[in-house]
Amino acid sequence: MLTKYQQFFTGRPTEEIAQSLLGKQIVYTNSDGTKTGGLIVETEAYLGENDSASHAFNGCRTNYSESLYGNPGNIYIYQIRGHYCFDVVVQDAEEPQGVLIRGLEPTVNQEQMATNRGMNSFNVSNGPAKLVQALGIHSRELDGKPLETSPLTIDITSGKKPREIVTGSRIGVNLKGKDGRKPYRFYVKGNPYVSGLRKREMNLEDYGWEG
């Protein structure tokens, strides 16, 4: 039987899960006890074997992507061009769908996150590889681990509510693929930690949150 935590990541469309993660807080506890974290402001949905942008497209299953076939709420960390990115596995085991965490608004130990990145401003975590580096994760050690009990967690019980969610096509995928332009990217409108957001689009008053 799935735990309540695992149930959050299944039982509804992956696109819906991706949107429900906006405003939820990620916290990572390093080996020395240092915590870093932030609010999720941008996600992308990947719909498994039938999605041309998915690592599991056409049933491709390798040792590298095996974690995608695990339980809902598990971590899938992969490397691209020397950088690490972080997906949450969603749907039932053996159904390789996932949600990529693309943008993070720092809220926990912001100074450490800036140090980890070697820079300040919104560039600290306005991209999938940037946010993993900002959290202080530099390997695939957590790959396949359940978020519920790992040093990298997501608080699914609370968080902030986006005033408006923008839907668009995913970034960095093969646009010529059959699903390359599908509207599977979601972000908090105006939040400056959204990747590629232009300055004139930023809401610097409340970052796009309600209340």
pLDDT for 146 beyond 90:
yes
What DSSP character marks residue 92? S
Mean pLDDT of 33-49: 96
Identify the pLDDT of residue 174: 80
- Mean pLDDT, range 38-60, rounded to an integer: 92
Residue 2 above 90 pLDDT? no
Cβ atoms 50, 182 nearer than 8 A: no
Question: Which positions ≥6 away from 79 have C-beta within 8 Å?
Answer: 85, 140
Compute how many other C-beta atoms are within 10 angstroms of the C-beta atom of residue 172: 14
Burial 116-138 (b: 16+ CB within 10 A, else e): bbeeeebebbbbbbbbbbbbbbe
Q: Does residue 39 have a pLDDT over 90?
A: yes
The pLDDT-based confidence of 176 (bands split at 50, 70, 90) is: confident
How many whole angstroms separate alpha carbon 194 and alpha carbon 104? 8
Q: Tell me the mean pLDDT in the region 36-47.
A: 97
Fold of 4-201: 3-methyladenine DNA Glycosylase; Chain A (3.10.300)
**Position 72 pLDDT exceeds 80:** yes
pLDDT tier for residue 141 given thresholds of 50, 70 and 90:
very high
Give the pLDDT band of residue 179 (cuts 50, 70, 90). Answer: confident
Asked if 25 and 35 count as a contact pair (C-beta separation under 8 A), the reply is no
pLDDT at residue 211 tops 80: no
The C-alpha atoms of residue 99 and residue 108 are separated, in whole angstroms, by 22
Task: Show me where the domains of the chain are located.
Answer: 4-201
Tokens read off for 145: 């681990």
Q: What is the mean pLDDT of residues 89-100?
A: 97
Mean pLDDT along residues 110-137: 96
Q: Quickly state the pLDDT bin for 210 (edges 50, 70, 90).
A: very high
> If DSSP codes are grouped into helix, strand and coil, which group holds residue 122?
helix
Per-residue pLDDT, 99: 98
Across 176-195, average pLDDT? 94
Q: Which long-range contacts (CB under 8 A, 24 or more apart) does 67-70 make?
A: 67/143, 67/144, 68/96, 68/97, 68/98, 69/93, 69/94, 69/95, 69/96, 70/144
pTM of the model: 0.96
Q: Which helix (H) or strand (E) holds 78?
A: strand 75-80
